[in-house]
Amino acid sequence: MLYRVEGLVIRSTDYGEGNKIVTLLTPSYGKQGIIVRGAKKLKSRYGALAQLFTYGDYSYYKSGTLGTLNSGEILESFQELREGLEGPAYAAYAAELTDRAINDDEAAAYLFHQLKACQSALAGGKDPQVVLRAYEMKIIAAAGYAPMLDECVSCGNDGGPFRFSSVGGGALCSRCWHRDTAALELEDAVWKLLRVFLALDLRRLGNIAVKPSTKRQLQLALRRWMDTHLNLNLKSRGFLDQWEKYGDLLGEQRRRPEPPPQNGDAGDGTV
């Protein structure tokens, strides 16, 4: 059967001699895997269609699980996202996150538009640490794990102050803090942004100026949430962490003070 879809390339891997397999996120068929024959050959007409982040119009034959590209056309190459180090790192993270969090064949029209808007925002120079946090929230919601932010998950109290409990499912009021001692205390600005991101259509994302401390808390809160509920173990995250130098903030074990040396342990004499 011949399909024709718009899609965003969220994964591209080598396959056999000179070919590639791409995973597209499409509005109507969710994720679709397509073989692009000869994609790696220099003169290939379709090489650019197989590049990560490309937005294109794809026609492919499909009978089993994988399709085979018949023809296609680039609608937007998103070349900016392949340049430098930072752009590719952020965009690759968004692509991998999408690939891992979404099941095959899940209709994904809304998410498709969110990812496309995310790529456009990154390509357009909007603050990637804001764009990605907003996109993470879209993924979380699409996967069915939206946090409850406006009232206490435990008792329903809608009066703050709240703490953010990943295992609890969202906000915990002061009467219920004891239910999750690891719940995070967050700045008001972080609560506000979490709520905004949950409701926001990324196609309408403007330029939001966010303080560094707010960004760090946002990242921590969303990461805790994703680790608790999605557990994706993303390859692209390690590089991004190094890039953002946020690894230390999140590696609590590394930050925990060393236990005092036992008697007889040889120290180096400095304090």
* Residues near Zn ion (CB under 5 A): 152, 154-155, 157, 173, 175-176
- Does the bond joining 161 to the residue before it have cis omega, within 30 degrees of 0? yes
CB of 158 to Zn ion, least distance (A): 10
Q: Can you say how many angstroms the Cα of residue 163 is from the centroid of all Cα atoms in its chain?
A: 23
- Of 124 and 156, which has the nearer Cβ to Zn ion? 156
CB 138 within 8 A of CB 111: yes
Per-residue DSSP letters for 34-86?
EEETTTTSTT-SSGGGGSTT-EEEEEEEESSSEEEEEEEEEEE--GGGGSSSH
What is the nearest approach in angstroms of Zn ion to the Cβ of residue 147?
A: 15
Please say which residue, 63 or 181, places its beta carbon nearer to Zn ion.
181
Nearer to Zn ion, 130 or 152 (CB): 152
| Residue whose CB is less far from Zn ion, 136 or 180 | 180
- Which CB, 100 or 163, lies closer to Zn ion? 163
At closest approach, how far in Å is the CB of 219 from Zn ion? 26
Least Cα distance to 209 among 220, 193, 225, 222 occurs for: 193
Measured from the CB atom, the residue of 120 and 165 that comes closer to Zn ion is 165
By beta-carbon proximity to Zn ion, the closer residue of 29 and 162 is: 162
In a 13 Å sphere around the CA of 220, the CA atoms on its Cβ side amount to 24
By residue count, the chain amounts to 271
Nearest to 54 by CA among 73, 82, 76: 76
Smallest distance, Å, CB 166 to Zn ion?
16
Contact 192, 137 (CB under 8 A): no
CB of 186 to Zn ion, least distance (A): 16
Whole-number Cα distances in Å, 134 to 10, 23, 43, 72, 172: 18, 23, 39, 31, 22
Q: Least Å distance between CB 242 and Zn ion?
A: 38
In angstroms, the CA 159 to CA 151 distance is 7
Cβ 195 to Zn ion shortest distance, Å: 18
Q: Are strands 2-15 and 19-26 parallel, antiparallel or unpaired?
A: antiparallel
